[in-house]
Structure formats: structure tokens, C-alpha cells
Amino acid sequence: MRSLVIAASLALGAAAAFGASLAQADNLKIGYIDPLSGGGASVGEVGLKHFQFLADEINAKGGVNGQQIEIVPFDGKTNPQESLIQAQKAIDQGIRFITQGNGSSVAGALLDFVAKYNDRNPGKEVLYFNYAAVDPVLTNDKCSFWHFRWDANSDIKMAALTNFLKQRPAVKKIYLINQDYSFGQSVRTQARAMLKEKRPDIEIVGDELHPLLKITDFSPYIAKIKASGADTVITGNWGQDIALLLKAAADAGLQTDFYTYYAGGAGGPTAIKQTGLSDRVFDIVEGNANDAPASAQKTEQEFRDKYGVTLWYPRAVNEMRMFAKAANEAKSNDPKAVAAKLEDMKVEGFDGGEIVMRKDDHQLFQDMFVRSFGPLKPGQKFDEEKTGWGWTTQGRVAGKDTLLPTTCKMERP
């Protein structure tokens, strides 16, 4: 009798769970796999808000082929193994689109995982949208049909930064400090190679790799930079690693220029203001709210009003809008059909300028902006983290000028 009761309740439970999954099956789910705890959480949390905001925007316009988009968060902990477990969990829930950005080591693992999964499970393919992992290898040697990248890869960013450095003859001694993993290593290698070519007179006085998202006090590194006599620091650090680096620089009164990839992230602007380095900290991004088109400024304002944070990822806007467009044009929410439509898709970018998803390697090309951070200039609307300081565009590189060749040999299904 007892076993019968158990069996019955199990069956009921299973039926209930099945019913629930049926009810939710109406939504088009996108799995968001990024750090929601640990050192990367400060960026992962804000990234999640972007995608929820963008899903709301698309849903308000009727969704995608009649389906509403639902963002399902998974905590990848900036850890490749953990992220793969989360990806499997997402797939088990029937999710067929995943998006991830933080950590190229994670991106590399996910890319492999998705490619292998799709090989084994024809008809149930999963598509992976990458909005921020910028290791060049992902769209070169390791490229995959199932992976699309909306962020400019690290080489493109470094090319833009070093071009900008060409116009600044005052820069003589550069210190490189990066995170010790695939992306950080690629930044240092490219910086060395490109500087050698474009500014052979520059001396590289230091080349540091430090553990990823584990340092709580950068003072020892700052003391070392100071001792090296560098006048400029180049860093690909992101998350707390950039905020804390700048904070330690402020404490020690380090007066160098900073060329960064991600100084705009959480805590970065506050720390820059502490350093007092007015318009001497630069970053390289795909948009600047302060001189974006009116439509982008409106979205920026809405985002800030709703969440109280800056819209860091114009590329996420491009990603979700292009995804919706591709699916609607394909008249299907099937990943394979969406992928086919995304290839070579050309649209107007969120921050203006034409953007193109190159078919050869699934890398998006877009205008890039070199910005500096300082007191708001007349007419500028957006400051950061209530500092009264904001970003000013110092240079704009047209998307077509960022085209780099790819070694990708895409295998198409």
C-alpha cells in the first residue's frame, strides 16, 4: 500500500512538473550563463539586467514569431567547468539559445561544448551568442558555426588603441599588466607586437600577469609600476581587477595614463575620479552614450532609470535586436535557421554606423570609440556612478577599418 502511495505521488509530481514545463514552453528561453557570484559577479549581475531589459523591449513589440523571450540566469562563476554544468542544465530545460560574455576561458569551453553537442544531437542544435569574451582565437582557429560574437575581439581593440597611441608622442614607457588567462595573455602579446610595429620608440618597462579576480589589494603592483618609471599603463583587466587596480593607483598617487579595455565597469569610474587623472584614463568600446544618436540616448536613459546603472553593453543591444530580426525574418525560432539569417546580416548599430556580422568567422564589425574619462563637458548628459565625470569620445574608428583577416575555416552543417 505504502509503495503504491509513493508511486502515485511520484507520478502526480512528475505530471505536475511536466505540466509546468508545458506551460513555460510558450516562452522562447535564452540561457544567460555568467558569474552571478564571486569576483565577476559585479559585472555578471549588470549584464543580466541588460538582457532582461532587452527581452522586455522585444516582448513589448510582440516578441519573436509570437513567442515571448525569457532570460534564464545561470551562475557560471567565471569558471569553465561550472559554466559547462550550467550549460548542460540549460539544455536539459529545453533551452536552445545561450549567451555568455565574461571570461574567454569560459567562452572557449562553451564553444567546444556547444559544437560537440550539436554534432551529437542533430535537430536539437544550440546556438551560443557571445557578447563580451574577446579572445581572438574564438573567431579564428577555434571558430564554430554555432558561435557568434558581438564584441570586437581583443586584437581589433588593441589595433584601435595602438593607432590612437601613434598620435601621442608623449608616451615613451609602457607598463603592461593583465590577468593571467587566455585573454590577458593575448592582450600582452598583441600589445607588444603592435607597439613594436607602430611605435618602435616606445619602451616596454614591465609586463605583468596576475591571477584572475583574486587580488584584493593591488598596492604591491602599483609600487612596481611606479618603480619602473612607466608613463603609461596598458591593461585588459575587467571586473574588480580594473576597479581595484585604479583604486590602488589613486592611493599611491600614481600619475600615469591608463589605456584600458574595461575601465568603465563597476567601480572603475569611482576609482578614476579618486586618482584625479582627468581625461588620462582611456577605454575602447563600441559606443559612447554622451554622443550617441538620440534613440540610443533615450534607451540609455530608460535603462538608467530602471536599474540605476549604466548601459555598459551596446553590443548586447545589437545582439538581441539582431537575434530578434534574424528569427523574425527566418519565420522560425530554430537555432539553425536563425544562425543562417545572422550570417552577413547588416543593420544600423545601436550607437550609429553600419554593423556587419561577418559570415567567414561570425565576428561582428562595428565602429569603435576610444574614450577618456573626466569632468562632464558642456552638453554631455551622462556621468558615471554619480561622480560628475563622464566619457568623452577621443577617437572613432570606422567598422570597415577594423577588419582583420581571419584564419577561420568554418565547418557548416
Partner 1 sequence: MLELITFSTLNGLLYGMLLFMMASGLTLIFSMMGVLNFAHASFYMLGAYFGFEISRRIGFWPGFVVAPLLVGAVGALVERYGLRRVHRYGHVAELLFTFGLAFVLEELVNMFWGKLPVDYRVPPSLDFVAFRLFDTTYPAYRMFMLLVAVAMFAFLIAVLTRSRVGLIIQAALTHPDMVAMLGHNVPRIFMLVFGVGAALAGLAGVIAGPALVTQPSMAALLGPILFVVIVVGGLGSLAGAFVASLLIGLVQTFAVAINVSLADVVGAEAAARLGDLGTVTVAQIAPVIPYLLLVLVLIFRPKGLMGTRET
CB atoms within 10 A of CB 234: 28
* Number of continuous H segments (helices) and E segments (strands) in the chain: 12, 15
152 binds partner 1 (CB under 8 A): no
Q: Does 205 bind partner 1 (CB under 8 A)?
A: no
The residue type found at 355 is I
Q: Which is nearer to partner 1, 156 or 249 (CB)?
A: 249
Q: Where are the alpha helices (DSSP H) in 25-79?
A: 41-60
What contacts 80, CB < 8 A, 6 or more positions away? 103, 105, 106, 108, 109, 110
Q: Which stretch binds partner 1 (CB under 8 A): 134-142, 204-212, 275-283, 321-329?
A: 204-212
Q: Is the CB of 38 or the CB of 103 nearer to partner 1?
A: 38
Q: Which is nearer to partner 1, 191 or 254 (CB)?
A: 254
User: How far is residue 61 from each of residues 66, 123, 293, 321, 328, measured CA to CA in Å?
Assistant: 10, 29, 21, 11, 12
Residues 39-68 that bind partner 1 (CB under 8 A): 39, 41-42, 45-46
**CA–CA separation, 20 and 106 (whole Å):** 31
Could you say which of 113, 221, 369, 391 contacts partner 1 (CB under 8 A)? 221
Stretch that binds partner 1, among 21-29, 157-165, 240-248, 367-375 (CB under 8 A): 240-248
Cβ-based nearer residue to partner 1, 37 or 407: 37
Q: Looking at beta carbons only, is 178 or 318 nearer to partner 1?
A: 178
Residue 45 or 56 having the CB closest to partner 1: 45
- Which strands sit side by side in the sheet containing 346-348, from one edge to the other? 346-348, 354-357, 364-365
Q: Applying CB under 8 A, does 136 fall inside the site for partner 1?
A: no
Report in angstroms how near the CB of residue 252 gets to partner 1 at its nearest.
5
Site for partner 1 contains 174 (CB under 8 A): no
Cβ contacts of 359 within 8 Å, gap of 6 or more: 343, 344, 410
Residues of the shown chain interacting with partner 1 in the complex, contacts defined by CB under 8 A: 36-39, 41-42, 45-46, 180, 208-211, 214-217, 219-221, 223-224, 226-227, 240, 243-244, 251-254, 266-267, 270
